[in-house]
Amino acid sequence: MPVTGLYVVQEPGTIASTISSINDKITRQFPKVLGKWSIEYKLFRENPEISTPGRQGSQAHIDQYQQQPQSKARFLSQLHLSTHDDDVFNLIDEPMSYSAARAGIKSDKKVLAVFDKGMDSIIGAKLQSMWLLRQSMRAEGHVFAIGDSFLVRTANVTQNGTFKFLIIEVEYLASDDLDASKEIIAGFITKCGFPQGRLFFGDSLDIYREPAEDPKKFGKIAHCLQYMEFFRMRPSG
């Protein structure tokens, strides 16, 4: 798929109506309105009441080998993007392995797995005693086509109906090579004159990949990682 960049505006003073001024700026470029899009994000935390090897229960075990306590709660993020209609992206922190703990390696690798919509109710209902829902965010907005090479998606992100920040996704249709397109996307955002914000390209997340995976080509996993990178760096996980 074509590459994207995620631009997040959450400076103080950003309010729910800031999006209209951004949409106005986009309108000045004579875009074609293509319709609506939406995202849904849920964050789950492991239930501290129960323990497993790899959770706190084995901590004593690990500490025998390594004289430093380190219990870090693990999280599971679930993301649904309307762009990838029936896919549910699940990013989960891997438990610390015995071998890594013994060797003193601090691993914070994550695994990203894609399932169909059925996964939503499996985590939310069937596994609810193991994974507790901590946060739920939604966004809905419009998609604009600017010229032949850019798609811009804007939306307000809300948590329980309260405005939190706004996101702009820029899709550059002419390339599927992320590294080569970063500057073009950043340049486009400057040209549009959007308010102060931060760009996410999703390349800082350390996720487990299949050995044969070619990281060069941009696909839905890389697309989803841009959102995960942003949501996961927020203080609550």
Partner 1 sequence: MASLQQFSLYAAFAPSKLQHILSILSAVTGMRPISLLQQHILFSPSISGHGSSTSVVTGGAAVSVAPLESSRIDVSRDLPQNLDEKENAKPPEWTLTIPTIPESGKRPVQVQAISKTKFRPSEEIDQNVDNISTLFRFLRALDYVYAYDYLERGYIFVYNGIATIKISQISPQLPLQLHEIPMGGDGDQVASTVARGRDPDNAKFVNTWVVHAYVEIVTGPETVGDDSEKVKIAIERLESLKAEIGGLFELEIPDRALLDPRVQMRR
Q: Applying CB under 8 A, which residues contact partner 1?
A: 46-47, 49-57, 74, 76, 87-88, 90, 92-95, 97-99, 111-122, 125-127, 129-131, 208, 210-214, 217, 219-222
Query: Shortest approach of partner 1 to residue 149 CB, angstroms?
Result: 22
Give the residue with the Cβ less far from partner 1, 189 or 205.
205
Smallest distance, partner 1 to C-beta of residue 47, A: 8
Measured CA to CA, the distance from residue 226 to residue 63 in angstroms comes to 35
Q: Least distance from C-beta 77 to partner 1, angstroms? A: 12
Question: How big is the chain, counted in residues?
Answer: 237
Q: Which is nearer to partner 1, 15 or 212 (CB)?
A: 212
Cα dist from 166 to 83, 153, 234, whole Å: 18, 11, 14
Q: What's the rounded Cα separation, in Å, for the pair 177 and 97?
A: 34
Phi, psi for residue 80 in degrees, rounded to 5:
-125, 125
The nearer residue to partner 1, 197 or 232, going by C-beta atoms, is 232
Single-letter code of the amino acid located at 111: V
Residue from 22, 14, 2 nearest 168 by CA: 22
What is the smallest separation between the CB atom of 82 and partner 1, expressed in angstroms? 16
